[in-house]
Amino acid sequence: MTRAQQTISIAMLLSSVYLACFMEVVSFPEKIQKEVIPVLPFWALVSFGSYLLFKLGLGVFTFNDVPEAHKEIMDQIQQARKELQANGVDVGND
């Protein structure tokens, strides 16, 4: 099973469970049925967005903790400068 098929299968399963709860096929106490079930998709969307923002922030926060990648990209920059200077392009040495 490919990752796309797996993702679609999980989405279909969650959608079916939610619709069964929303249409009262599966019964819950009235307070949960009227106040919680209708807002579950919004709660899931906000939670997912919060998770993604956290992952983005963590990636930015720990960006400098990768010295090997920093050294590699600096070497690539130096190599690109040398190649451009060999072709007569003024790149400036910062």
pLDDT band at 93 (very low <50, low <70, confident <90, very high): low
Tell me the percentage of the chain whose pLDDT exceeds 70: 96
Q: What is the mean pLDDT of residues 46-71?
A: 88
Amino acid at 33: Q
For 4-41, the pLDDT digits (tens) are: 999 999 999 999 999 999 999 998 999 999 999 999 99
Query: What are the distances in angstroms from CA 58 to CA 61, 66, 67?
Result: 5, 13, 17
Q: What is the pTM of this model?
A: 0.58
The domain segmentation of the chain, as residue ranges, is: 3-86
Which phi and psi (to 5°) does residue 23 adopt?
Answer: -90, 10
